[in-house]
């Protein structure tokens, strides 16, 4: 059976992981290789920030919307909220929340946010920034990681929208991930087809370079899929041309692209 390697953390409940489910329903075996580890940053400060937002909702300059573009940021904010008063939780969850992609949108909804915007209709930060600009908020609060692209805050500020950024998590590459990748691929060569799916440039450069070297020296070790144009651009700069780029950052679109690019 052909196999797909997802370069990401799986859902904590493997039976509910939508990428694994989509792979299986399309006739692929799958496995996951996390390339990043994450830690929350200054949860005490985040709790104070959220409490102050609720306490000062009717004073000064209110925040018109929240922005969260990663699942790790969702988890950081949700963790902080659970330690706050019910009234604070209700207020924060009532604010419009802009997010990227269906997976992150679904996650914030499970944590009680009921005005989720963007999501499946915003596959990357550039699209989301455009949607926010059209809504004309005065002030947004962007919960983000230590490493992120500038497109959202820069675009908003260019259009006169105040964008306050707060770092809520940090990421670092998993040690030895390149060795784990090579072992996975080379120890299971009985598979007719190997696909490797890149979800982000972060933490995956060493794997991309290994694929580049293999493609040049031995005809390739795996087919490559990118979850979107940002990741495609990263791979192309290294010299790896993806065999498919997902039309949308969701499991169904990804598997559709893989099927279309797979040998018949």
pLDDT in tens, 149-186: 789 999 999 999 999 999 999 999 999 999 999 888 87
Mean pLDDT of the 44-65 span: 90
In the chain, the percentage of residues whose pLDDT exceeds 70 is: 94
- Taking the C-alpha atoms of residue 222 and residue 194, their distance in angstroms, rounded to an integer, is 5
- Report whether 46 contacts 66 (CB < 8 A): no
Closest CA to 12 of 24, 4, 20, 2: 20
Looking at the chain, which runs of residues are DSSP E strands? 3-6, 29-32, 36-40, 65-68, 97-100, 116-119, 139-145, 162-173, 194-198, 223-226, 244-245
Any idea which fold 39-172 has? Answer: Rossmann fold (3.40.50)
- pTM recorded for the entire structure: 0.82
Q: Report the range of poorest mean pLDDT among 13-17, 48-52, 180-184, 241-245.
A: 13-17
Dist CA 20 CA 5 (whole Å): 10
The secondary structure of 189-206 as a DSSP string is: TTSS-EEEEE--STT-HH
User: How many angstroms separate the CA atoms of 100 and 69, rounded?
Assistant: 5
Q: How far apart are CA 139 and CA 161, in angstroms?
A: 6
Read off the pLDDT of each residue in 94-110 and give the average, rounded to a whole number. 92
**Topology given in CATH for the domain delimited by 3-35+177-261:** Rossmann fold (3.40.50)
The confidence score (pLDDT) of residue 20 equals: 94
Structure confidence by residue, pLDDT tens digits, 217-229: 666 779 999 998 8
Mean pLDDT for 117-132 is: 92
Residue 191 has pLDDT above 60, yes or no: no
CATH 3.40.50.10090 domain locations along the chain: 3-35+177-261, 39-172
- The count of residues in the chain is 264
């Amino acid at each position: 059976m052909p196999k797909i390697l997802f370069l990401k953390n799986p859902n904590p409940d493997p039976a509910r992981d939508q990428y694994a489910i989509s792979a299986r329903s399309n006739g692929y075996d799958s496995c996951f290789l996390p390339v990043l580890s994450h830690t929350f940053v200054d949860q005490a400060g985040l709790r104070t920030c959220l409490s102050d937002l609720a306490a000062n909702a009717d004073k000064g300059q209110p925040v018109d919307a929240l922005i969260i573009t990663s699942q790790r940021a969702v988890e950081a904010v949700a963790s902080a909220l659970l330690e706050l008063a019910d009234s604070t939780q209700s207020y924060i969850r009532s604010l419009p929340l802009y997010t990227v992609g269906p997976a992150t949108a679904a996650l914030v909804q499970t944590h009680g946010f009921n005005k989720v915007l963007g999501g499946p209709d915003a596959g990357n930060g550039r699209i989301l920034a455009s949607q926010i600009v059209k809504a004309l908020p005065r002030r947004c609060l962007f919960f983000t990681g230590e490493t992120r692209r500038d497109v959202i805050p820069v675009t908003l500020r260019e259009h006169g929208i105040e964008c306050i950024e707060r770092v809520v998590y940090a990421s670092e590459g998993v040690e030895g991930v390149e060795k784990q990748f090579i072992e996975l691929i080379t120890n299971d060569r009985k598979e007719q087809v190997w696909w490797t799916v890149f979800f982000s440039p972060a933490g995956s450069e060493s794997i991309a370079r290994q694929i580049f070297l293999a493609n040049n020296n031995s005809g390739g070790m795996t087919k490559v899929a990118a979850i979107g144009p940002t990741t495609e651009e990263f791979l192309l700069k290294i010299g790896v041309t993806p065999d498919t780029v997902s039309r949308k950052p969701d499991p169904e679109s990804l598997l559709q692209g893989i099927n279309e690019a797979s040998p018949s």
